[in-house]
Structure formats: C-alpha cells, structure tokens
Amino acid sequence: MDINLDYELVSMTYEDHSFCFFIPQIELDEMETASILIVTLAWDDFSPSTFEEALHSLEVSLNQVIFHICSTTDAQKSKCTTAALRKLSLVEDKSISRVYMNTIAPGERGSVGNIMELKESPSSSQFCVRLSATLAVSNNMLDHANELLHSLNESANINAVWASLIVEECSRLGLTYFCVAPGSRSSPLAVAASSHELITCISCFDERSLAFHAVGYARGSHIPAVVITSSGTAVSNLLPAVVEASQDFVPLVLLTADRPPELLDCGANQAIDQVNHFGSFVRFFFNLPPPSDQIPARMVLTTLDSAVHQATSSPYGPVHINCPFREPLESSPIGWMSSCLKGLDFWMTNAEPFTKYIHMGLSQTCIHDHGEMVEVLNLIQRANHGLLLCGAIHTEDEMWAALLFAKHLRWPVVADILSGLRLKKLSTSFPDIERNFIFVDNLDHALLSDSVKGWLEIDLVIQIGSKITSKRICQVLEECAPFSYIMVDKHPFRHDPSHIITHRIQTTIVNFVACLMKATVPRTVCMWGTSLQLLSKMVDWEIQFQINAECSLTEPYVAHVISKALSSESALFLGNSMPIRDADMYGHSWSICSRSVTSVMLNLDIPINLIRVAANRGASGIDGLLSTAIGFAVGCNKKVSFVIGDISLLHDTNGLAILNQRKLRKPMTIFVINNHGGAIFSLLPLADKVEPNIMHQYFYTSHNILIHGLCTAHGIKHLHVKTKAELEEALCVVQHEQMDCLVEIESSIEANSNFHSVLKKFALQTAQHTRRLLSVPFSRGYTGDELYLCRIRKVECLKYRIALSAPPTSASDYDNQKELYREGFILSIILADGSVGFGEVAPLEIHRENLVDAEYQLRFLIHVMEHVDIGGYLSLLKGSFSYWIWNELGILPSSIFPSVRCGLEMAILNAIADAKGSNMLNILHPPINENDKCQSSLEAQICGLIDSNASPTEVANIAATLVEEGFSAIKLKVARRGNPVQDAILIQKVRKKVGGQIIIRADANRKWTYEEAMEFSSLVKDCNLQYIEEPVPNEDDILKFCEESGLPVALDETVDKIQENPLEKLAKFTHPGIIAVVIKPSVIGGFENAALIAQWAHRLGKVAVVSAAFESSISLSAYTLFASYLELLSLSTFEVLDDREVPSVAHGLGTYRWLKEDVAANPLLIGRSPHSGFVGASVADASRLLHDFQVNQNVICNIIAEEQVRRYQLEVEHSSFSWSFEVFETGQKTNDNVLVFLHGFLGTGEDWITIMKTFSGSSRCISFDLPGHGKSVVGCAKDTGEEPLWSMEIIADVLQKLIHQITPAKVTLVGYSMGARIALYMALRFTSKTMGAVLISGSPGLKDKLSRKIRAAKDDSRARSVVAHGLQLFLNSWYAGEMWKSLRSHPHFNRTIASRVQHDDMQSLAKMLSGLSIGRQPFAE
C-alpha cells in the first residue's frame, strides 16, 4: 500500500497536557460492498514515543498488513486493500507489550491486549487486533450474519425467548465465555448459550470448580465470565468463588436457575431460598420474574446491562441474577405473544447492547487544580527516604505505568510477586535499565537484620496496586510508622490491616501516574536508595548462591528455576500457601530473554518484558486453585505455568476434568510441589511446640495419594522429578510440548523447613555484613558517597625481574638455565584523593596467557581506567567486580586474562582499603564494631612445599627440616618418577620421618593414568594423607577414583580451568571424597571468583586452600589477608550449618621460599608464629607491607607510562581536489613497524586511540578521519566547479598518498567495517606499500550481480536520507538495525552514539555511504 499522508493536514500545534489524535480511514472493498475500518493512533505526552515515532509505527504496521494481504506488485499499484483483516493469519507475539493506550474501552467486544490469532467466524463484527505498541485496528460493523442469529419469533416458548435475549445481550456486552454446570432447571440458558455462534461454552460437573474457573478467566481477560447453574445447592457451591471474586475485585456474572415462586417454601425438590443468596459478596442482585409475555422483554436486557455495568465498574466484583423458570424447560412449543418484543426493533438491527453505559472521558487530573493532589506532590517533593511499593497489578497498561512511574521517581521500588514487575525480563542486556530503576527485590530477607530495620527510616510510602504478599515487609512498615503513606487503588474499600495509610487515592494506576508524570519531582539518586538496592542485590546474590549450591532439589530452587524459565510469551499462576511465598522471596528477575522477529521488524526496542503473575489472593484460600489457573490460561491467552502444593491440588482434583476441555487455550504446565502434606505449618511457631504426630495428622494432613494415578484417570501427561537435573529436563520437555503436562516435584516437609531456615540465616548474615561495610568510615575527611568511593586519577605499571633460588615446581624450561628469574608487573592505582593500591600480574606456564599477552592487556587497561569511578561496594565481591568491569570499563569480564584480573582486583581492593584507612581484610569482612580487633591478630598458616626431585631419604630429611622450622603441613610433588611405587615409597619415608601429627599432602598434577593413580593409592592407604591433588587427567575419572580408592582428593587444575559459571561446573564435584579445593587467585581470575569457589567448598564442608603461583610479597600479602577472610567466611558458614567443626587450614603460600629477590624493598615476614607455634604470615605484617609498600628499584626493568597522542593536519591533492585529514599518532616515529587504523562508517580516527596506545610500545600507530567523517574536508584545488567522484578506487588512491606522506615504510592496515573493506582493497592493490591487513567485520564484497544492485540501491537511499533528514534521525534508524543488536546492549552505547554526531559535512558523508557501498565494491576473489 502506498500511504500518501498529507503532513500539512496531520501536523498540529498543541499545548502541554493536550491529548492529540490522528485518525486515518482505510477503505476496504469487500464483496463489492464498502465498509470502513477505523484505525486509531492515540498519542499524548504520556506516551513513550514522540508523535513522529508513533506515526512511523503506523506506516510500518500498515505495510505489514498489506504484505500479508496483497502481493508486492499489487500493493505498489493500489492504495486500498482487498480483503478483510479477519482473514489474516496473524501470529501471536506477546513481546509487543502495550505501553499506554486507553482508546479502546475495557469490555469492548473482542478487545485484546496484544496481537491475537483471529479464528474464522461467520461474523466479522466487533473485533480488535493490536498490530504494535501504538496501533490497534477495530471493527464494529454489522454484517448479514449478525442481524439476530436466532429469530426470536421462531422460539418455541417464552423460556427460550428470555434465555436467548440474555445470551445475546451478554454477547453484545463482550461476555462470550460461559461456564455451564449441568442441570435441568437451567436448560433454557444452557441451550441458548451453546447454540450461539459467538459464545464459547465449557462445562463441569462440579459447580465449585466451574465457578473458580470463571474467576480465573476474568482474571486473565478482565472480562467477566458467565456462570450458569441449576437451582438448589448447585448455587451454594458457587459461594467460595464468589467470595474470592468479591474480595479481589474480579468481575463475574452468575445466572442461577430457580424454581418459580409457587414452588418455594413448600417442600418442592431442589428448591431453596436463592434470593440474596450471596449476601454482601455480590455487587448487584436481581431476582427476575419467571419468563412471561406480559412483561416487556426490554426489562430482561436492561437488567443484564445494569448487572454487567455493576460488575465492570469500580469496585469490580460478582453480580447475581436469579432466573426462575417454569416448565416446560425443553423446547416444547407453547404459544407466546410477540408483543413483548415491542421496542426492540433498533436493537435487532445492530450489534450494540440495549443500554450503553457511557463513562465521561474527563481530562486527567491536573496537579494545579486540585488541592489534594498538590498535597500529594508536596509530600513527594519533600521526601528524603521515599519507597514505591507495587502491590498486585492486573493489567499490562498498569504494569507499564508503574514502571514509568518508578523511572520518574527514581525511588527504591519494592515489587510484589503479583505486580508483574518482580519477574521482569530483559529483551537484551541493557545496563542503563538498572541505572534508571532502583529495584529492591529482596527487601523481605534483608529485613531479617535488626540493623537494617533500624536504618530504614522511611518517610513516605506510595503503594500502587493491592495487597502485599510479604508479611515481614508489612510488619516492618507498621513498626516504622508514623510516616506519610499514600495508597492508590481503584476501589474505595479500606484495605489497611496495619491502619497506617494516611492518604487514599481512588483512581486507576494509569491516571495517577499520568497526573504525576506531568509534575517535576527531584531526580537525585539519594544514598539511602542506592544503599537499599545494594543490600537487596547482595542478599539476592547470597540466596541464589545457596539455592544453586545446595545439591538436593529444594522448593526455593523450584521457585527460582521456574520463574527463570518464563518468557514474555508466558504467564505464571501461583497457588496459595508456600508457592506464592517462595516465588515472592526466591523468584528470579533480570534474566535475559531473546527478542522476537516481530519486534525487530517493527524496530521496537522495548528492553524490558514484564511477566504477568496472578493468584487468588482475595480470600487466599487453597480451594479451586487448579480450576482458577485453567480459566486464567484461557483468559490471558498465554502459555501458563501453574505452581501448586499437593494439598491444594487434592482440594480441587475436579479441576482436572476442566483441564481436559482445552478450548481457546494454549497448553499449560502444572507444577505440583508434593511434600505429602501442608508444609507451610512447619514454618510457623507452632511447629516447635506441638507434638509431631499431632502436626502430621491435624496440620500437615499427611497423605500417600498417588498424583500419577489422578493424571492417568484424567488422561494427563505426568512427569515425576526428584532431582535438579530431572527438573531441568522436565522444563525442557514441557517448553516444547503442545499438550498439558503435570510435573510432580518430590519434596519433604522437614527438608523444606530446614532449607528455608538455612536461607534465612545466610541472608541475615549477608544483610548484616553489607550494612557493616556501608558503615565503615572514610579517612582523609572524605564525606562522599560511600558506594562510589573515588575516581581513578592515574594508573601506573612497572615491569620487574626477580631472581629465584630454584625453578618453580610447575616449570619445565628452567632446567638448563644458570640463573633463574621470575618476571611480572606491579600495577598501581592512584585515586583522586591520593590513596594508592598495588597489585601484581605475573603469569606462569600454568596460566593461559603469557607475559607478552598480559603486557598488552595492561597497556590497554591503563588507558581505559583513567578517570573511571570505583565504588566501595567492590569489596563485597559477589559479582561486584564483574558488574564494574562491564558497566564502567565496557569490557566483557571473561575477556580479561586471569592473572591481569587478579592484579586489577588486588590493586583496587588495596586502594579502597587505603582510602578507608584500613586493610583488605577489614573491607572484605568489616569488624562487627570498632572494638573488635581480633581480625588484626589473625594469621594464615602456611603449608611447606617440596619439589621431591631428590631421593626418598633426602626428601624425608628436607621434610623433617621444614617441620623443625614450624610447618604444620607439607605438600609433596609426586608423579615425577617413572613409577607410582617410587612415589608411594617417598610418601612412606616422609610419614615415618615426620611422624603422624604433621599433615601431608600429595600433588600429582594430573600426570598419572587412572591405573597408576589406583596403584599409588593402594600403597599409601596407611600413610594418613590429607589428600591427593588431581591424581588423574580426566575429570570423570576423579569421581571414579574417589569411589574406588577411598583416598581423599583435592581439586586443583580442575578449578584452574573454571573462568565462568563456577557453580555449574563444580556441581559434578560434590562427592564427599573430594574434601578440598586448591585456589590460585591469579589462575582462576581474581578474588571474586576465588571467594565464590571457596564459599561453595565451605557450603559442602570442603576445605578451601589459597595457593600462590610463585608471586612476590605483594601477592603473598594480599593472599594472606584473603586467606584470613576465607577462614572468617568459613566460620560464618559452619555457624549456620550448626553440625560441623571448623577445620584449620594451612595455605599454599610456601612458594615464598623460592624468592631470592623481591619487588618489595622490605619483603613480607613469614616465620614461626608466637601464637600458634606454626609457620605463617600475620594479617598485621601483610597489611603493613601493602600500606607502606616501597618498590625495590633494583628489580624494575621497564615502566609502562601513559602514551601521548600527537594530532596534526595533512593535505593531499588528487584529481584537482584537495583532501584535508585530521591525523592521530602514537608510538616512536622511528619504529618501522607501522600500523594504520581505518575506522568504520560514522566513526572517526579517535575511535582507535585506546587500541593505538595499547600497541604503541611496539609499533608506530596512525589513524585519521576518513573522507566525509569528523574533521576531514574535501575541497577543489582548482576552481573547476566540479564535484569530486567518490569510489573505492579514488578513496584508496587518496589514502595511499596520505599514508606515503606520513611514512615511507610499509604499513599494516587495520580496518573495521567500511575501514576493513578499504584496507582489503588497498592491501590487494598497493602490495609494495602494505605488509598485510587485519580485517574486523569486513566484507570481501558481493559476487552476485543482483545482490550488488540491490545493496547499492539501498545505500543510495540511505545516503539520500542522511542529506534529507539530518544525521540524528539517520542514526536512530541506522542503529535500530539487527546488526547493531550487540552494540545496543553495550553499557557505553549512548556514549558511542554521542560520538557519532561529530560530522559536519552531510553531503560528503552521504557520498561515502553511496560511493563505497558494498554493492559497488570490487569483489575480492
């Protein structure tokens, strides 16, 4: 379709707060009759996009419609379509979330929240389909099939007439889902509903389950379901669902059949008093008279219209119409007077309800016009410690409004599990999202700490949405009162059990947010909110660690992994009791989910997907949950995951009968937590005070019912899981199944209770630890934000070379050298306040990087880190360093070499410690109070190391000497002799020599075969080895060795290989035979990874041994402090686990004996401790060395300093034109190794400066602005009036002249994207000038002639767009493409975009884009 928009007509001027509409009309030619479909684009200043962006979305969306309807040729020729929208095969895509649209009224027939599959229907009237976040198409036309589907005049009797009227009016009101219970008295209604072509009916023999199913449908769709029942107790069975709907404001329409008045109170069968049967739990009740032709039929319609209006008006809720019927109840013909239809002529000719209830569209509340709202705004503006509390939110509009409000306020946000914000998913990695929102997802567990409670000091709470799940949060808010508490909800009722709400605003969340978004509120991020977020993140990290580290399948793990598996196309329904509480406390948020093809097509870059979560929290009962969840799945049209307890499931097994009737519903997965009873009672105080047998019989109601049998009886797929692996497998199965599935998850009441207790204890420890860290005072009078400590002023790097007294035990190439040396780097970070921190980078053969690799990376980091902020929060570890490296440096953490990252973390931690006037240990583990000085007296015991190259007797003598010096433990290198028998003899000799009290360890370094290792183990069983490190090379054989040898094992090289996701890779090594892990921080990538691995070991009762890799006193001092920290961490872990004795650990720092020289002028003192009597390094000595560190200048061989960039202008003449270039250069001019860097389209030469500085130590590096970019200028050398030609050939000629002018030497070209294509062309053409080319994201060109033509045309169009619309608009379109998806997720994306607007010559830029198009590039064979 060619859309000829008259921009003059559609453009408009508007004032602030005005609401603007652009309403095009599209004429559709259907069956030679014309009908009009109205496409409404609604936009105002509350919308997330500008009017121009919304207009663009309309054009793109309509083009998609035409693409589906017409062929491309037809679409280009015609300005109108030739088919109905209802014929489209629109694929459902839930990632297109409605941000804000209020133009289609709630309850509108066929209205949907997202793109829906439109089923074939005989009637096309009254449908609505959303095509994008800002576009919906609706139709309310009437065609011949809807004049009145059932001719009332042909109805058999008056009962059928009234029943038909009721059902038809329901249909017109948008109520098209009927829940029909079997019964004789209700047969007129049941027959009318089931016969109506627009009505979907579902039935169940259990009225209670059926009514809950209706509640679920209304929860999912926000449209009432209609329940039809017979008379008598069938009506009474609806009461539990009516109560739930009433308490939680769920609309519901109840049509209950009844006996006529003459059969009441006379003993007639199945006749009870049904008048006002549900009392105050319904919003409206009407007792219809029995059908009669003496009563105008209009009365039936207006009654129903009134009832539905009451159900769907605030406060929403159930309505009850009692419908007495006299016999005959079937279609026996009995004459009736058609005069009762008088006044329905107009109603019969249209598709509208008889009575329309019109809500006045009043303008949104204005801050300046209402004193009450001014008061609210003043409270917000004065708040210092404001908290945004998001309770249950039921619509996507309200979820997005809440999200926008959270961004607007920049307050801490506590999102309840039912808010839709708790389980938020990112469509990609958008770090800016986290900076714009302060989500506090784990406040519940943080509040276990009294210190956190006392520190909270809230002065204003705004709660949007209804009740909060967390009891602890509610209790703490009550304890913190009085303060201003603003409650925003649609209903007028007093939901305030703590009686602390001071302001109640009755309105929708959307209207409230729209009002306040127009007001200015303080945007400063207060320290209080940031600290609260940090507390939450640390508690969240600890919870996730404990959940994942626990070997067994636990209920918190179930909540965590199920919520993690959710996608934007799914929804979650939670059972009451434990499932909703576990999801609220342990649900996983901020996970990454992939974007859909549709959102890419529409260029929709909504980075957050909100997961809809629902539950029956009106009365919070456990009845009817399964039925409700099934109804919710029908109503929301998503793939629903439902988590329920076993007792709740057994309470509603009749819901399984409804599950089998899969109508208008996607497959759903039911997760049943089967702990064989009511586990929640085990977490209550009464569990400790009541006899176990009473608890089991009267509270847990323990059972042995086979859930598998229930599934078999109802024909439902059943999966039974008992382990984490089985649950993961089940999740994979159900995600690809197109059928309903019940996953039974085996659990235990006692184990569940114990693990919940463990989680709370660890969360409490973490909260208290984080609070102590935030309370550590700064030295030097610093009073800034303790989370963002200081800015890095300077980074320096010194290369050293120190002598060794012997080859390292890991070395193989030192043997023939006369002099032995160890090389590395000293990294120093100087902060703006003068604080200094030192780190060491010294890779060995065991590292994956060598010294040269490390040097290049250090050169890069030196330049990247300057003027970057570091935060005090980094000392918390727990992912903090990885977060900082990515967000502040813009580097993938895994791309930094392990030794470099270790040195970087070491330097930063020491700098933070210096700034706080403390040491590394105290910032990693802050003392409980100022008087707690025990940490300074700690020491790290050291294990002696023996290379074992001598004879067994000589080695035994060396061991005895070490014992005399005070070593409590000795490690012997084995597997270096020809036979494991000789190694066994060595161990036997040493054990005999040193006695039984000394710890002996052996290290095989994976050098034995499995058979050799087993032979060794059989010979040393009586030698009391503490452990053998890495006896075999195969990781699977390690576990086999543990089983068959019985010899304790320690992991070493296995741990060294772990760089990412340590817990996943360590999960297979939980075997109790593996008793220790040896952790080399410089090999595994720093202290953050080391602490994680050590914590995993402690959690499983294993020993964590810190080991050096022959580094100098800087690292030895840092490792001493870190080892002491791990021992304190171990003590905390064992305190929580109660039943384990804390083992003493001798750490692998014995490599200090190999150091003949040291980088420190005064090396670390290591010797026999006067306290323990064993050799060790004290915390006091290590702290002193790092604080007073002085470099031994005699070992420094090179200084890596900041490189200066030389800038200058050069001109080149070519073909009567002058080309002026901005040139950047680093490195020595005399260096013949010349690298020339060519940037990509829209870049500049400055893009390469950091890389150039990195290589300037070994190369002369040059970059410049390509023609049309940056400060390059093209002009006429002679006044010819001609325009220069732009092509790959001409640009290459010009650049070749420029490079020759800079240097006569051969050069290596390094190019990115367009620059890579230029580099490739020049390398092939100017072979005498180029040594080679490095191509990054470059293309050799297109070989296919048609592809070249198409690409050239595209680039010509883009070039015209640059000139016509300007660079900014072009950038928005250019970087919205799929090829830039990874760049958009980069934390420095906005900074990159800002640098791309530094181009002044749009004409030249466009010529470069067109002239150097891939479509015009010579193909490189």
**Per-residue tokens: 1357:** 């169009």
User: Distance between alpha carbon 207 and the CA centroid of its chain, in Å?
Assistant: 41
Partners of residue 824 on adjacent β-strands: 800
E strands, 832-938, are 836-841, 869-870
| CB-based contact 559:628 (threshold 8 Å) | no
**Per-residue tokens: 1028:** 């053998």
Which residue out of 490, 724, 971, 989 is catalytically annotated? 971
* CA separation for the pair 16, 1171 (Å, rounded): 75
| CB-based contact 1142:1131 (threshold 8 Å) | yes
Partners of residue 612 on adjacent β-strands: 571
| CB-based contact 1046:1074 (threshold 8 Å) | no
**144: left (phi > 0), else alpha (psi -120 to 50), else beta?**
alpha
Nearest in space to 640 (alpha carbons), one of 716, 573, 707, 686: 573
* CA separation for the pair 1382, 594 (Å, rounded): 12
Burial 28-59 (b: 16+ CB within 10 A, else e): bebeeeeeebebbbbbbbbbebebeebbbbbe
What is the number of other CB atoms lying within 10 angstroms of the CB of residue 950?
13
H/E element holding 473? helix 471-480
- The verdict on whether 717 is a catalytic residue reads no
State the residue for tokens 């399984």: 656
Which residue out of 94, 761, 1080, 1407 is catalytically annotated? 1080
| CB-based contact 966:1167 (threshold 8 Å) | yes
Give, as one character, the DSSP assignment of residue 152: G
Helix (H, G, I), strand (E, B) or coil at 963: helix
**Per-residue tokens: 632:** 């919710």
Give, as one character, the DSSP assignment of residue 1269: S
**Per-residue tokens: 374:** 């001014």
* CA separation for the pair 1195, 1186 (Å, rounded): 18
- The verdict on whether 1329 is a catalytic residue reads no
State the residue for tokens 């509903």: 193
| CB-based contact 1374:1396 (threshold 8 Å) | no
Nearest in space to 749 (alpha carbons), one of 644, 646, 617, 624: 646
H/E element holding 1238? strand 1234-1238
Partners of residue 1222 on adjacent β-strands: 1209
Q: In what order do the strands lie in the sheet with 252-258?
A: 200-203, 177-180, 225-229, 252-258, 318-324, 284-287
Helix (H, G, I), strand (E, B) or coil at 1234: strand
**Per-residue tokens: 1361:** 């767009």
> Cα dihedral sign for 1183, 1186, 1188, 1193?
positive
State the residue for tokens 């990885």: 882
Partners of residue 674 on adjacent β-strands: 746
- Amino acid type, 1064: E
- Please, where are the H alpha helices in 1138-1187? 1179-1187
Helix (H, G, I), strand (E, B) or coil at 683: helix
| CB-based contact 468:474 (threshold 8 Å) | yes
Q: Which residues contact 520 (CB under 8 A, 6 or more apart)?
A: none
Helix (H, G, I), strand (E, B) or coil at 1065: helix
Report, in this order, helix, strand and coil percent for the chain, each rounded to 5: 40, 20, 40
What is the number of other CB atoms lying within 10 angstroms of the CB of residue 1391?
10
E strands, 751-883, are 790-803, 821-831, 836-841, 869-870
Active site amino acids: 971, 1080
